[in-house]
Amino acid sequence: TRRYRPHLEALDLTYPQYVVMMALWEQDNITIAQLVDLTAIDGGAMTLILKKMAIKSLIQIVSDENDKRKKCIKLLPQGIAL
């Protein structure tokens, strides 16, 4: 992560946030559970990461249309632009 740090600081991202963004750039509008599987980031840590990313307007956390208990993650224009 040392090599990535200067680049990530310029984007105002941490390394775990970057990993999440990479997964979402590959497959947008997925559930938190799918994102945990894709990134191998702990579910509790994922929740904190996603909340911080939502505050930065990179992503939106929405309820799944078919199952309101599930939350889906969608990239916002600012997240796509990175």
Segment 5-53, tens digit of pLDDT = 778 887 888 999 999 999 999 998 899 999 999 999 998 899 999 999 9
| pTM score of the predicted model | 0.84
74 has a pLDDT exceeding 70: yes
**Reduced to 3 DSSP states, what percent helix, strand and coil does the chain have, rounded to the nearest 5?**
55, 15, 30
Report the sign of the C-alpha dihedral through residues 39, 41, 47, 49, in that order: negative
CATH of the domain at 75: 1.10.10.10
Residue 1 banded pLDDT, cuts 50, 70, 90 = low
70 has a pLDDT exceeding 90: no
Q: Which structural domain, as residue segments, surrounds residue 22?
A: 5-81
Q: How many domains does the structure of the chain reveal?
A: 1
Q: What pLDDT, on a 0 to 100 scale, did the predictor assign at position 81?
A: 84
